Structure 1
């Protein structure tokens, strides 16, 4: 029965990351729920082995979403 419930349980979304060196060359690929802590990892839409030892295409990067505050305070006049 537990197995049946686990089929419907929500799992963390896996995201794709690419490790870039100082020159912008892709040195590694990783999939995880969170960005790896060490190294210069950038989020990408997908992982492609052809990117290893190549410059990462600009179209591959995921643009970070800048959120707006839920509520704005009115300025006192």
Structure 2
């Protein structure tokens, strides 16, 4: 019965972040529902271990377009 109820409960939407140093090299990954504190974190499409200690590929970053509401704003509307 718990399985059936779990189908109807809202699950948090995890997003992937990569910590980038001043040279653009990926230092760490984090998966969380809220953006991490600090300016070194950028949202990425996935967590790829081959990016560690290497420059982050340009196509890995998720960029928000101007006027595109964040997921949190959509839920509140």
Q: Shorter-chain TM-score: which interval? A: 0.7 to 0.9
The structure with more radius of gyration: 1
Number of equivalences? 68
Unaligned runs of 5+ in 1: 69-77
After superposing on structure 2, the runs of 4+ consecutive aligned residues of structure 1 that deviate more than 6 Å are none
Rounded to whole Å, the distance in 2 between the matches of 1:59 and 1:39 is 20
Give TM-score scaled by structure 2 length.
0.76
Unmatched 5+ residue regions in structure 2? 69-77
Matches within 5 A, 1:1-77: 4-67=4-67
RMSD: 1.7
Question: SS of 1:46's equivalent?
Answer: coil
Which is richer in helix?
Answer: 2
